[in-house]
A = this chain, B = another copy of it.
Amino acid sequence: MKLAVIKGDGIGREVIPAAVEVLDAFGLELEKVPLELGYARWKSTGTAMSEEDIETIKSCDAVLFGAVTTVPDPSYKSVLLTIRKELDLYANIRPVKPLPGIVGVTGRNDFDFIIIRENTEGLYSGIEEIGPDFSWTKRVVTRKGSERIAEFACELAKKRSNKLTIVHKSNVLKSDKLFLDVCRQTADAYGVEYGDMLVDSMAYSLMMHPEKYDVVVTTNLFGDILSDMCAALVGSLGLVPSANIGKKYAFFEPVHGSAPDIAGKGVSNPIAAILCVKMLLEWMGKPEALLIDDAIACVLQKKIITPDLGGGASTAEVGHKVAKYV
């Protein structure tokens, strides 16, 4: 097993070392392949990631990724989007689950759902035209793309409560009807119960009734927006991990970005990145992944927490303690 380790930019450089310390505590046989990629490298060399880097990543089985700063500059190709594409990581999995003793903006902790975000098409098609007075981007929905994400979501629903919510905007985007229809057909074929929601209503409903949902499947940018919003339910963007999964590779990244505003101070919350390690272990089929939950519960209970949660601990201290408990 080979794991590419990419710290990237900003707080990615702080949270990944903490997460790696936790991973190391498991003493698994696993070769780590560090890679330096991202915006900082683009600024100094003109390349954020080379062909060779991509080959190196492809020679690994999985990737642990911090964050990379993105900019609107049309000549800057997003590292994250390139890797998602190159490794065909079509399913972006974002669990939304409270952590012990921490409540988010709504004060409740009676929810536990997972957003499955289609990760290769929709508004991320890259098909666009930029003009001085007129610009456009094509939002693409394909049967193949919808099918494989629907199947992924249904497989997951089968392992959980057998319930699926399909999120779309097909009252306005008639093209989204293809996504909706394929998801419905797939759920029927799998014998999964389902309902569907318009994305605007869903944004509201997730805030009002998060306990209603279990597995949620949606298109690329809707998943992006909803999952960030749901971090407020959990309490902090610093607490939510994600996995990007393909048929061959898996890629783990905290939902938070590079957070330039707090980067370099050593106060970023490493829990999201540590939960990425948990998702990695689960993907590897290691039941000991669950130890991470217990270890995190311990540090939270002892109030070894970073400033975003109202504490005074550093990134490294939290990583250290979680590793110790593991």
Chain B binder among A6-14, A202-210, A242-250 = A202-210
In angstroms, Cα B234 to Cα A184, docked, is 33
Number of A residues whose C-beta is below 8 Å from B? 59
Q: Taking the complex as formed, is A143 at the interface, i.e. its CB lies under 8 A from any CB of chain B?
A: yes
Do residues A144 and B133 form an inter-chain contact, with CB atoms below 8 A?
yes
Given contacts A72-B171, A128-B175, A135-B175, 8 further A-B contacts (CB under 8 A): A72-B174, A134-B143, A136-B141, A137-B176, A139-B139, A200-B224, A203-B225, A207-B232
In angstroms, Cα B142 to Cα A129, docked, is 12
Other-chain residue from B125, B130, B143 in contact with A132 (beta carbon distance below 8 A): B143
Contact with B along A187-204 (1 / 0, CB 8 A): 000000000000111011
Q: What is the copy number of this chain in the assembly? A: 2
The 6 sampled A-B contact pairs (Cβ below 8 Å) are A72-B170, A81-B172, A123-B172, A129-B175, A137-B175, A137-B176
Chain B residues, Cβ within 8 Å of A172: 70, 78, 81, 123-124, 221
Do residues B221 and A169 form an inter-chain contact, with CB atoms below 8 A?
yes
Q: Taking the complex as formed, is A321 at the interface, i.e. its CB lies under 8 A from any CB of chain B?
A: no
Do residues B203 and A203 form an inter-chain contact, with CB atoms below 8 A?
yes
Other-chain residue from B142, B169, B199, B221 in contact with A134 (beta carbon distance below 8 A): B142
